């Protein structure tokens, strides 16, 4: 079975927080420590790699931030773009 590779664009959007920069920086640290290829942009981060690792990363971000801040995570995934 072929390895499932994907490209994912993720935007973490803190809600109602006084220090949204710290919230975003925590998420970026999780991404940087993921051993996945990524590119940080002004509005989102693009991540490339094995699909199961990207799904695990999104889950990790969700549970890590759950009790720290209110947020929206916007995710777009592709099995074609940049794979």
What is the predicted pLDDT for the residue at 17?
A: 81
What's the predicted TM-score (pTM) here?
A: 0.90
* Third-level CATH fold of 5-78: Alpha-Beta Plaits (3.30.70)
Nearest to 46 by CA among 13, 69, 15, 74: 74
Q: Give the Cα separation of 57 and 42 in Å (integer).
A: 20
pLDDT tens, N- to C-terminus, the chain (83 residues): 678 899 999 999 999 888 899 999 999 999 999 999 999 999 999 999 999 999 999 999 999 999 999 999 999 999 887 65
**71 Cβ neighbours under 8 A, 6+ residues apart:** 12, 13, 14, 15, 23, 65
Q: Give the Cα separation of 81 and 77 in Å (integer).
A: 9
């Amino acid at each position: 079975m072929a390895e499932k590779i994907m490209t994912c664009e993720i935007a973490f959007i803190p809600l109602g927080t006084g220090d949204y920069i710290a919230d975003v920086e925590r998420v970026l640290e999780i991404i940087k420590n993921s051993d996945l290829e990524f590119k940080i942009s002004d509005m989102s981060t693009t991540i490339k790699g094995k699909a199961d690792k990207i799904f695990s990363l999104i889950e990790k971000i969700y549970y890590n931030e759950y009790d720290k801040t209110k947020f929206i995570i916007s995710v777009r995934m592709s099995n074609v773009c940049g794979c």
